[in-house]
Structure 1
Amino acid sequence: MFGDWTTLSIFLYVLGLLLLMIEGAIPGFGLPGITGIICVTISIALITSNLYEALLLIIITTLLFISAIVLLYKLGYVSKYLKFLVLNTEQKKEEGYISQRLDNSYVGKTGVAETILRPAGIVNIDDKRVSAQSQGGFIESGANVVVTEVADMKIIVKKLEEEDKNV
């Protein structure tokens, strides 16, 4: 049924499938995926002698590839050899991980820009270094700033003008 199964055609076929599996682990669509598709296509062209055989082999290859992906997905959670594929860590408070919730107590407070804000940077408010974002534009390091709002886990500041200081 299928034509000439040479060492080269088998090597290209297996290499193509391996490259496609590697592509599945890498985000995006890049060099391994394109090279894998080319290798499988060339190996199919070398093996088959007509279009019917080529289409049949492509269907079989696709089904085998999908089956392998499903099997790896199902076994990935329980297999001791595939544990490296699954991230199952927790960020515990005892280990120093703290989720920070910003409240509106920062609104109206003044501070000093420790870094340049274009538009984001570090601001010192009440002797605490916090990440902040300028309301719009460039604020140089060392400038006095005032917090205008706290939204979406961001502290929004604007440059404190001289007339604002006197109020």
Structure 2
Amino acid sequence: MDIIVDLPALKMLLIAIIFLSVLIEIKTGGTGLGAFLGIIAAAVFWGSGYIKGLVNIYHIALFLGGILFIIIELVTPATGIFAALGIVMMLYSIILGLGGNIDAVYMLIGALVIAIVLFAFIVKKLPSSRLWQKVILKDSSTEDRGYTSSTDNSSLLHKEGTVLTELRPAGTILIDGSPIDAISEGAYIDKGKKIRIIKIEGNRIIVREV
């Protein structure tokens, strides 16, 4: 068993499982999915290293401290600083546990790649936690949310709408229920007035009061 654990490929796999379990816990908000497997992988990795004298209590404490910071992030209304600090502590402790040299960095990167690839296959099937919502963009700029394209506005030409904010001469108009940045052809146009789009020059939408 000692010889098997010493294999670099197995060490990399154990670390990948640890990272995967952390990603799963961040995604699910600490529901326990994957945590058991991560604990086993961490116990085998750190336990075998400690028995062989390759790691010490400081390395293990640093790793456990990183886990603690991530747990704090999951259960408190923090802004992500505890999770970031915890991840850094975990990465540093694992590099030290692998020898603290350039080979350790390569193994760490390899394990991260494996974990991310595996996580990508299951991420959509997992529930999302508050922490996960902080780091992932949830909303998209769609027409249903009141956004319009900034690259092709040709379809708006000659359409009529109302002034949403005063045009001085720049402001916002409302066309088909969507707010659009526009500019008058020179005159001030008050809020609520009806306008017509008379010209489009790239991203510039020029309007005239009806």
Q: Shared topology, TM-score over 0.5?
A: no
Range class of TM-score, shorter chain: 0.3 to 0.5
Specify which structure has the higher proportion of helix.
Answer: 2
Q: Of the two structures, which has the highest relative contact order with CA contacts closer than 8 Å and spacing of 6 or more?
A: 2
TM-score (norm 2): 0.36
TM-score (norm 1): 0.42
The structure whose Rg is larger is 1
